Protein backbone atom coordinates (compact mmCIF):
# COMPACT_ATOMS: atom_id res chain seq x y z
CA UNK A 1 0.00 0.00 0.00
CA UNK A 2 1.39 3.37 -1.04
CA UNK A 3 0.34 5.02 2.21
CA UNK A 4 2.56 2.62 4.19
CA UNK A 5 5.66 3.25 2.03
CA UNK A 6 7.00 5.36 4.84
CA UNK A 7 10.08 7.26 5.99
CA UNK A 8 11.17 7.25 9.63
CA UNK A 9 8.93 10.12 10.70
CA UNK A 10 5.93 8.53 9.03
CA UNK A 11 6.74 5.19 10.66
CA UNK A 12 6.72 6.92 14.04
CA UNK A 13 3.41 8.64 13.28
CA UNK A 14 1.67 5.48 12.06
CA UNK A 15 3.13 2.91 14.44
CA UNK A 16 3.64 4.84 17.68
CA UNK A 17 1.32 7.85 17.88
CA UNK A 18 -2.05 5.96 17.70
CA UNK A 19 -0.95 3.55 20.43
CA UNK A 20 0.38 6.42 22.55
CA UNK A 21 -2.95 8.23 22.28
CA UNK A 22 -4.93 5.08 23.17
CA UNK A 23 -2.81 4.34 26.24
CA UNK A 24 -2.95 7.97 27.35
CA UNK A 25 -6.75 7.97 27.18
CA UNK A 26 -6.84 4.58 28.94
CA UNK A 27 -4.68 5.92 31.78
CA UNK A 28 -7.23 8.72 32.25
CA UNK A 29 -10.01 6.16 32.59
CA UNK A 30 -8.27 3.41 34.59
CA UNK A 31 -5.68 3.96 37.36
CA UNK A 32 -2.38 2.34 36.45
CA UNK A 33 1.26 2.31 37.43
CA UNK A 34 3.48 5.01 36.02
CA UNK A 35 6.32 3.93 33.72
CA UNK A 36 8.89 5.62 31.56
CA UNK A 37 8.04 6.27 27.91
CA UNK A 38 10.46 3.58 26.73
CA UNK A 39 8.71 0.90 28.78
CA UNK A 40 5.58 1.35 26.68
CA UNK A 41 7.12 1.24 23.18
CA UNK A 42 6.02 -2.35 22.49
CA UNK A 43 2.47 -1.54 23.63
CA UNK A 44 2.41 1.65 21.53
CA UNK A 45 3.39 -0.33 18.45
CA UNK A 46 1.00 -3.21 19.22
CA UNK A 47 -2.05 -0.97 19.69
CA UNK A 48 -1.09 1.10 16.65
CA UNK A 49 -0.93 -2.07 14.55
CA UNK A 50 -4.36 -3.16 15.78
CA UNK A 51 -5.70 0.27 14.87
CA UNK A 52 -4.19 0.02 11.37
CA UNK A 53 -5.58 -3.49 10.87
CA UNK A 54 -9.07 -2.32 11.82
CA UNK A 55 -8.78 0.48 9.28
CA UNK A 56 -6.98 -1.52 6.58
CA UNK A 57 -10.05 -1.27 4.34
CA UNK A 58 -10.00 2.53 4.58
CA UNK A 59 -6.23 2.70 4.13
CA UNK A 60 -6.57 0.65 0.93
CA UNK A 61 -9.22 3.07 -0.29
CA UNK A 62 -7.33 6.30 0.31
CA UNK A 63 -3.93 4.90 -0.74
CA UNK A 64 -4.77 5.10 -4.41
CA UNK A 65 -3.32 8.09 -6.24
CA UNK A 66 -6.65 8.82 -7.89
CA UNK A 67 -8.42 9.12 -4.53
CA UNK A 68 -5.78 11.46 -3.08
CA UNK A 69 -5.83 13.72 -6.15
CA UNK A 70 -9.61 13.91 -6.47
CA UNK A 71 -10.50 13.96 -2.76
CA UNK A 72 -7.69 15.83 -1.00
CA UNK A 73 -9.92 17.04 1.83
CA UNK A 74 -11.34 13.55 2.50
CA UNK A 75 -7.84 12.06 2.28
CA UNK A 76 -6.53 14.17 5.16
CA UNK A 77 -9.81 13.88 7.06
CA UNK A 78 -9.55 10.08 6.96
CA UNK A 79 -5.90 10.25 8.02
CA UNK A 80 -6.87 12.31 11.07
CA UNK A 81 -9.62 9.78 11.82
CA UNK A 82 -7.22 6.84 11.57
CA UNK A 83 -4.28 8.38 13.43
CA UNK A 84 -5.90 10.55 16.09
CA UNK A 85 -9.67 10.23 16.48
CA UNK A 86 -10.11 6.44 16.43
CA UNK A 87 -7.26 5.82 18.92
CA UNK A 88 -9.13 8.05 21.36
CA UNK A 89 -12.38 6.14 20.88
CA UNK A 90 -11.09 2.53 21.23
CA UNK A 91 -10.12 2.76 24.94
CA UNK A 92 -13.40 4.46 25.80
CA UNK A 93 -15.38 1.71 24.08
CA UNK A 94 -13.33 -1.00 25.78
CA UNK A 95 -13.78 0.70 29.15
CA UNK A 96 -17.55 0.76 28.65
CA UNK A 97 -17.46 -2.91 27.60
CA UNK A 98 -15.35 -3.91 30.61
CA UNK A 99 -18.00 -2.45 32.92
CA UNK A 100 -20.87 -4.22 31.15
CA UNK A 101 -22.64 -7.31 32.48
CA UNK A 102 -21.57 -9.28 29.40
CA UNK A 103 -17.89 -8.72 30.20
CA UNK A 104 -18.37 -9.56 33.87
CA UNK A 105 -20.30 -12.74 33.04
CA UNK A 106 -17.29 -13.96 31.06
CA UNK A 107 -15.22 -13.82 34.27
CA UNK A 108 -12.50 -11.65 32.76
CA UNK A 109 -10.30 -9.80 35.23
CA UNK A 110 -11.54 -6.26 35.69
CA UNK A 111 -9.05 -3.63 34.44
CA UNK A 112 -9.53 -1.37 37.48
CA UNK A 113 -6.81 -2.52 39.88
CA UNK A 114 -8.38 -2.02 43.33
CA UNK A 115 -11.83 -2.02 44.95
CA UNK A 116 -11.06 1.50 46.24
CA UNK A 117 -10.64 2.79 42.67
CA UNK A 118 -13.70 0.92 41.41
CA UNK A 119 -16.02 2.26 44.13
CA UNK A 120 -14.94 5.87 43.85
CA UNK A 121 -14.76 5.90 40.04
CA UNK A 122 -18.47 5.14 39.63
CA UNK A 123 -19.52 8.80 40.03
CA UNK A 124 -22.13 7.92 42.64
CA UNK A 125 -23.09 9.81 45.78
CA UNK A 126 -22.71 8.15 49.17
CA UNK A 127 -23.03 9.01 52.80
CA UNK A 128 -19.83 7.69 54.32
CA UNK A 129 -19.03 6.61 57.86
CA UNK A 130 -15.28 6.69 58.35
CA UNK A 131 -13.93 4.50 61.14
CA UNK A 132 -10.87 6.24 62.56
CA UNK A 133 -7.96 4.32 64.08
CA UNK A 134 -8.70 5.84 67.52
CA UNK A 135 -12.13 4.15 67.55
CA UNK A 136 -14.22 7.24 66.78
CA UNK A 137 -16.30 8.02 63.68
CA UNK A 138 -16.52 10.76 61.10
CA UNK A 139 -19.65 11.02 58.99
CA UNK A 140 -19.86 12.80 55.69
CA UNK A 141 -21.17 13.10 52.16
CA UNK A 142 -19.10 11.89 49.22
CA UNK A 143 -20.57 13.46 46.10
CA UNK A 144 -19.76 15.35 42.93
CA UNK A 145 -17.48 17.81 44.74
CA UNK A 146 -15.60 15.12 46.64
CA UNK A 147 -12.40 13.40 45.57
CA UNK A 148 -10.38 10.24 46.21
CA UNK A 149 -6.89 9.25 45.14
CA UNK A 150 -6.21 6.63 42.49
CA UNK A 151 -3.74 3.74 42.18
CA UNK A 152 -0.76 3.71 42.54
CA UNK A 153 -0.85 6.75 44.82
CA UNK A 154 -1.45 6.47 48.56
CA UNK A 155 -5.13 6.28 49.44
CA UNK A 156 -6.67 9.54 50.62
CA UNK A 157 -10.16 11.00 50.43
CA UNK A 158 -11.84 14.41 50.50
CA UNK A 159 -15.51 14.55 51.52
CA UNK A 160 -17.48 17.69 50.71
CA UNK A 161 -19.78 17.59 53.76
CA UNK A 162 -18.98 16.62 57.35
CA UNK A 163 -21.64 15.25 59.70
CA UNK A 164 -21.69 14.85 63.45
CA UNK A 165 -22.24 11.28 64.63
CA UNK A 166 -23.00 9.69 67.97
CA UNK A 167 -20.93 6.96 69.59
CA UNK A 168 -22.91 4.33 67.63
CA UNK A 169 -21.94 5.85 64.30
CA UNK A 170 -25.42 7.25 63.61
CA UNK A 171 -25.63 10.49 61.66
CA UNK A 172 -26.93 13.44 63.68
CA UNK A 173 -26.58 16.72 61.80
CA UNK A 174 -24.49 18.38 59.12
CA UNK A 175 -21.72 20.61 60.44
CA UNK A 176 -22.58 24.08 59.20
CA UNK A 177 -20.00 26.26 57.43
CA UNK A 178 -17.73 23.26 56.94
CA UNK A 179 -15.89 23.13 53.62
CA UNK A 180 -15.31 19.41 53.86
CA UNK A 181 -12.62 17.15 55.24
CA UNK A 182 -9.46 15.47 53.91
CA UNK A 183 -8.11 12.24 55.35
CA UNK A 184 -5.26 9.88 54.50
CA UNK A 185 -5.47 6.09 54.84
CA UNK A 186 -3.10 6.22 57.80
CA UNK A 187 -5.86 7.95 59.81
CA UNK A 188 -8.71 5.45 59.30
CA UNK A 189 -9.30 1.70 59.19
CA UNK A 190 -12.23 1.43 56.81
CA UNK A 191 -15.21 3.31 55.36
CA UNK A 192 -18.88 2.32 55.30
CA UNK A 193 -20.98 3.54 52.38
CA UNK A 194 -24.70 4.32 52.54
CA UNK A 195 -27.38 5.34 50.08
CA UNK A 196 -27.95 9.12 49.85
CA UNK A 197 -31.24 8.80 51.78
CA UNK A 198 -30.48 7.24 55.14
CA UNK A 199 -31.67 7.35 58.71
CA UNK A 200 -29.93 10.41 60.12
CA UNK A 201 -30.27 9.24 63.72
CA UNK A 202 -31.81 11.00 66.66
CA UNK A 203 -31.15 14.77 66.97
CA UNK A 204 -32.01 14.79 70.65
Least confident span in 29-43, 123-137, 153-167: 29-43
Query: Does one domain contain both 13 and 96?
Result: yes
The CA distance from 152 to 116, in Å, is 11
Which of 105, 131, 157 represents a domain boundary (last residue)? Answer: 105
Across 57-61, 83-87, 134-138, 151-155, the highest mean pLDDT is recorded for 83-87
- Pick 2 or 191 by higher pLDDT: 191
What per-residue confidence (pLDDT) applies to 2?
Answer: 52
Count of domains observed in the chain: 2
Query: Does one domain contain both 54 and 137?
Result: no
Query: Does one domain contain both 97 and 120?
Result: no
What per-residue confidence (pLDDT) applies to 200?
Answer: 46
Q: Is residue 204 part of a domain?
A: no
| Region of residue 154 (left: phi > 0; alpha: psi -120 to 50; beta: else) | beta
Which of 105, 140, 173 represents a domain boundary (last residue)? Answer: 105
Query: Does one domain contain both 153 and 173?
Result: yes
What per-residue confidence (pLDDT) applies to 197?
Answer: 61
Are 78 and 58 in contact by the 8 Å Cβ rule? The answer is: yes
Query: Does one domain contain both 132 and 39?
Result: no
Q: What is the mean pLDDT of residues 193-203?
A: 63
What are the C-alpha distances in Å from 76 to residues 3, 6, 52, 151, 155? 12, 16, 16, 39, 45
Amino acid sequence: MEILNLDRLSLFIFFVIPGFISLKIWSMLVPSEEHKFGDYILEFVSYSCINLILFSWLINLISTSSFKLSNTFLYYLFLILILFVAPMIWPILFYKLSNSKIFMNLNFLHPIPTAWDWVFSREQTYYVLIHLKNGTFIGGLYGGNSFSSAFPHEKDIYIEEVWETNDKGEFLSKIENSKGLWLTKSEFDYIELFEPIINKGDDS
